Chain A
Amino acid sequence: MGRQAATYKKIPGRWLAPFTRRTLWQGPDHLLWVEKTMMQEHYRRFYFKDIQAIIVRGNRRQHLWTLFWAFLLLVTGSLALPSLDTPEQPQFFVPAFFVLLWSIGLLINLLKGPCCEFYLQTAVQLERLSNMVRVRAVLKVADRIKALAEDAQGKLPGSAMAGKYAAVSSEARRLQHVDTDMAYSPVWHWALFSVLLCQGILGGLQLWLQQSWLVVLSLVAMALALVLVIVALVRCHRQIKGAMLSMLTWVSLVFAVAHGVSAYGLYIFGSVRNPEYSYNAAALFKVFLDLYLEDNAFITTLVMGFTVGALTLGGVGLIATALRADRGKAPA
């Protein structure tokens, strides 16, 4: 059992972070995943004969980077634009330098193409290989690993593989369908999005009729929506995972919290503006309600924004819930 140094070839791509570096190496019969921290290297081996599947999943990271670079470009561009006629002044060339820098970043991001996540699955783990993020590079590596795994395990014709896979996965898929789809109860989502829709309608009426009882009802609807969204997320999180309904529920949570925070902010503003009511909660609440009915551009915009948001979320959410509920009824 003597030492036997394996020869490794580096696979393109590396993940750099402060004090951490991750690389992938190809050995004679396995892949070596190396994670180097400050003064130590950690190894994980994936033997070609043990690799069950490779999974490439597209994501939206490229869009986020595009937005990031475009935002920086816009900010520095707007700083450089007023000094366009005096290019020798630092007011122009300092922002212009950054415009050039961000443009290069944006161009590189666009040229490198869309991003993705790369996974290797074995019998005991699903490991994300985070050293590669661009689809073009990942697909090249995936093809390389696929060829090596097929060499080690033997290759079945496509039809035989599909038949065997269907036989193995059908029972698991049926059980998963029973576990998630059939167990899904859309009651909480119906309630949540109905309340949001009501909140939107109440907001619209409040803008039109300018009645304080409509403000109270709108705030009650907001509080109810906050409770319902938490219950819906806790009770149905697993069943709606990855679906549009999940995203809408999370957006509803953010929306309800934002609405609550804005209402609290107005309450504090009212109490600061009227310190004489500090110990009179009823009078303070009246002041708070009157604030909503004031002829103030900021408050009107705020109410209008929350009204449109609640109507949109409620409407789209009800449609998404109906679609999800229909799919739950479909046979396995």
Chain B
Amino acid sequence: MIACPKCHRIQSAETVNTGRMAPCPQCRTALRIDVFNAFLRANEADVAVPGAHAQGAAECFYHPGQPAVVPCAACGRLLCPVCQVELEGRSLCMACLQAGRDKQKITAMQNSRVRYDEIALALALWPVLMIFPTLVTAPAAIYYAVRHFRRPSPVLPKGWVQGGAAMLLACAQIVGWIVFLVLRFGD
């Protein structure tokens, strides 16, 4: 149901799709609510579908007796509307969907990502405050920056600024250490 987020009063038809801010009848908070077809569809009663045999149609692989409407784009199994999942413009069955999620092959199912470029930058930046750890962290920053520099981002476009900055900083630290060691211990 569509309710006011403050007082949880279910809103009447007079307060939705008005196109302007109008007060909630209960708490008087200014609200603008736009309701779409998806809300109405979800609340409409399901229509009973006659059996596949009765219609002389192909059956769903997972629900014998239910008419199939589409084949799975990955494995080709016939699917009924219940089993069919639309993702990235294709219809998939649950098994393929699960396999795709486990192997991280479906972009739309990735819910998190580690930002290695941020890790590289943090490794290059913060240890500078204590100087000596940079002996270890500078090579580690370069490793992370190089290892993941060209790794394509499956979701958001990734810039090269952090990775590049991390590499520059880490290289400068290493050069600094070399210069220091040569000046200190060189003949």
Contacts and interface: CB of A to CB of B under 8 A. Distances in A.
Interface of A: 1-8, 25, 29-30, 32, 34, 36, 38-45, 49-59, 116-117, 119, 121-123, 126, 128, 135, 139, 142, 146, 149-150, 153-156, 158, 161-166, 168-169, 172-173, 176, 241-243
A236 to B, nearest CB: 14
B100 A1 contact: yes
A142 B24 CA distance: 19
Contacts of B21: 56, 58, 135
Interface of B: 1-2, 4-13, 16-17, 21, 24, 26-27, 29-40, 42-43, 74, 88-89, 96, 99-100, 105-108, 110-115, 118-119, 122, 152-157
Given A40-B114, A44-B111, A126-B5, A165 B32 contact: no
| Secondary structure type dominating chain A contacts | mixed
B91 to A, nearest CB: 13
A11 to B, nearest CB: 13
B107 A3 contact: yes
A164 B40 contact: yes
Given A5-B153, A32-B155, A121-B2, A53 B33 contact: yes
Contacts of B4: 57, 242
22 contacts: A1-B96, A5-B155, A8-B155, A8-B157, A39-B122, A40-B113, A43-B110, A43-B155, A49-B38, A53-B16, A53-B34, A54-B33, A57-B6, A116-B30, A122-B38, A156-B37, A158-B17, A165-B16, A165-B35, A166-B12, A169-B2, A173-B12
A242 B150 CA distance: 52
Contact of A142 (B34, B88, B111): B34
A260 B115 CA distance: 53
A123 B42 contact: yes
Given A25-B156, A43-B155, A243-B7, A52 B113 contact: no
Contacts of A164: 40
A146 B12 CA distance: 20
A29 B29 CA distance: 32
B105 A5 contact: no
B115 A41 contact: yes
A43 B111 contact: yes
